[in-house]
Amino acid sequence: MKKLKMLFGLLLGTMILTSCSSDLLNTNVDGPMTRSLLSTDDLGQTMILGAHKCNDVVKLQDAVDYGISNFEVDIHVSRESGIPVLMIGHELETSTGQTFEEYMDDLLVMKPDFNFLWLDFKDLSTDENEAIIRETLYRLDSKYNIKHRVLVESRYITHLTSFANDGWHVSFYSTWSSLVGKTEQEQKEICDGWLKSMQDNNVDGISFDSDVYQAMKTNFENAQVNNRPVRQYSWNYRIYYNEPDIYEKIKKYSHLTVLIIGFPNEEIPKLIMDVQFADKGIATNMNEEISSLPVVEGTTNAIETRWNSSYEKYEAVFDGSNFFYIPYSKEDAIGKAMKGMFSMEILFSPDGGVNPFSSMESGGLGYEITSGSQLAFYYRANNKWVLPNNNFQTPIQLGKDVYYHAVVTYDKTTFRMYINGAKVKEVKVSGTFNFPKKDQAPDYLLGIGGDYRDTATPSIQNPFIGKIVYAKLYKGVLSNLDITN
């Protein structure tokens, strides 16, 4: 798969080189739309294209594998035992649990020659925070030589001055939305005010949403800060790296210093597990037959499958004595989905039991029917169950032959639960995913109709009772339209 991504990256890069001016962007052999060389002097002469919000290492690795060399990451100041530390994420509630220094260590292993890193500091707003950010950046620069290839961004312009005076690339995060709906004269007055503040603070960069790129281009294209041209940094999350017409979409932004766009794994879901059923107790995943527990001597616990005329599919009937299971590892498609952005979907009718679709042996994630007839979704991160915390569950009826279409999505900051197409729960949670326990079992197992025990041969715990029509896992986040349809 990695070779396939790289081949696609090279093909896309070749297509762009043959169809656009080299003044727009450079491509190297590592993949699509990266910058081959970057120095303090040449930054801004050619637009740099980067991947938006590479906050977790799974997405970062995917972007590197795809051939991307330019990234954007969110950083906030947290405090551990009263000591300030830079953490990855917008804020404490959406923190990945990784420090900025740990992130940089990972990045320099994955991509030691990365070209550009956009550092969005959310709270570079006090002298104390400025001091810890400066100390950390200088320590990392001493270790990795990063000063010429990172951008320090903040909405608090006075705290950018010291970085600008020391030669770091800096950008003032503008209140760009104030330009929307204004006349050209009103826009000019707002931009003139920003420019005056930038000149007063020696900040020669400004960042904004691409929705206002025309107004910003008009007012800043020839602007200067202390005899240096103003550099413009922008984002457009509605453009993705894998779009066939990407050149047409980005060429109007060629005046920018940096444009960050979406990376496919962030928004475009990919089906990686699709459990369906057939006659005679057969279950398949992506058209390949999967296993159930072997028949126990003296009993019959083979899983019954039967035709469901309402959904025009076979369904499996679980009696609490058996389940289907799929082996996976931390690094295969299933494991990568679990620890990244994902969607889990199931169509089922519950009569009782506990786990209809899960992998939760002292960790992991999955659906669970609670003792109070609630459908909950559990997720373990940072060595604790961060869901459901009694707030990520919804009432369901048992034994009423009622079918539920349940979907849970996670975009690394927010969990959402949908029942029959309607969103019923939303909770902000983030952190480093903890896989289930696997001391004796040869593989992690994802169970349909029950959960697995950590034993040398597959065995069941917390079995489900009822019917399941299908169970699916996606890498990426299903949209509201996907779920409704």
Compute and round to an integer the Cα radius of gyration of the chain.
26
* DSSP letters for 451-480: EE-SSSS--EES-EEEEEEEEEEEES---H
Q: How many whole angstroms separate alpha carbon 118 and alpha carbon 110?
A: 17
DSSP symbol at 257:
S
Determine if the peptide bond prior to 388 is cis (ω within 30°).
yes
In what helix (H) or strand (E) does residue 238 lie, and over which residues does it extend? strand 231-240
User: Helices 2-19 and 57-66 sit at what angle, rounded to 10 degrees?
Assistant: 60
Q: How high is the pLDDT of residue 295?
A: 67
Cβ neighbours of residue 169 under 8 Å, at least 6 residues apart?
40, 43, 148, 150, 151, 152, 205, 231
The CATH T-level fold of domain 270-484 is Jelly Rolls (2.60.120)
Would you state the structure tokens that stand for residue 159, as one six-digit string?
């705290």
* DSSP letters for 19-62: HS-TTT---BTTBSS--S---TTTBTTB-EEEES---SHHHHHH
Burial grade of 112 (CB within 10 A; 0-12, 13-18, 19 or more): exposed
Q: How high is the pLDDT of residue 62?
A: 84
pLDDT in tens, the chain (485 residues): 334 344 334 333 333 333 333 333 333 333 333 332 333 334 546 899 999 999 888 889 888 988 999 999 999 999 877 888 999 987 766 677 899 999 999 999 999 999 999 999 999 999 999 999 999 999 999 999 999 999 999 999 999 999 999 999 999 999 999 999 999 999 999 999 999 999 999 999 999 999 999 999 999 999 999 999 999 999 998 888 877 788 888 999 999 999 999 886 445 688 999 999 999 999 999 999 999 988 665 555 789 999 999 999 999 999 999 999 999 999 899 999 999 889 999 999 999 999 999 999 999 999 999 999 999 999 999 899 999 988 899 999 999 999 999 999 998 889 999 999 999 999 998 888 999 999 999 999 999 999 999 999 999 999 999 999 999 999 888 988 889 87
Tell me which of 2.30.40.10, 3.20.20.190, 3.40.50.2000, 3.30.9.100 is the CATH number of domain 48-262: 3.20.20.190
Q: Which of 419, 447, 425 is nearest to 293 (CA)?
A: 447
In what helix (H) or strand (E) does residue 233 lie, and over which residues does it extend? strand 231-240
In angstroms, the Cα distances linking 92 to 72, 98, 173, 415, 431 are 18, 11, 21, 16, 10
Q: Which of 59, 38, 227, 253 is nearest to 151 (CA)?
A: 38
Q: How high is the pLDDT of residue 65?
A: 87
Q: How high is the pLDDT of residue 190?
A: 98
CA 470 to chain centre: 25
Cβ neighbours of residue 415 under 8 Å, at least 6 residues apart?
377, 379, 387, 392, 408, 409, 425, 426, 427, 428, 429
Q: How high is the pLDDT of residue 268?
A: 67
H-assigned helices in 153-269: 161-165, 184-200, 213-220, 246-250, 264-267
Q: What is the pTM of this model?
A: 0.59
Q: How high is the pLDDT of residue 16?
A: 35
Domain boundaries, the chain: 48-262, 270-484
Would you state the structure tokens that stand for residue 40, as one six-digit string?
């303090």
Q: How high is the pLDDT of residue 46?
A: 83
Q: Dihedral, CA atoms, 239, 240, 243, 248, nearest 10 degrees? A: 40
Q: Dihedral, CA atoms, 16, 17, 18, 23, nearest 10 degrees? A: 110
Burial grade of 384 (CB within 10 A; 0-12, 13-18, 19 or more): exposed
Q: How high is the pLDDT of residue 247?
A: 82
Cβ neighbours of residue 287 under 8 Å, at least 6 residues apart?
none
Q: Which of 206, 156, 222, 213 is nearest to 180 (CA)?
A: 213
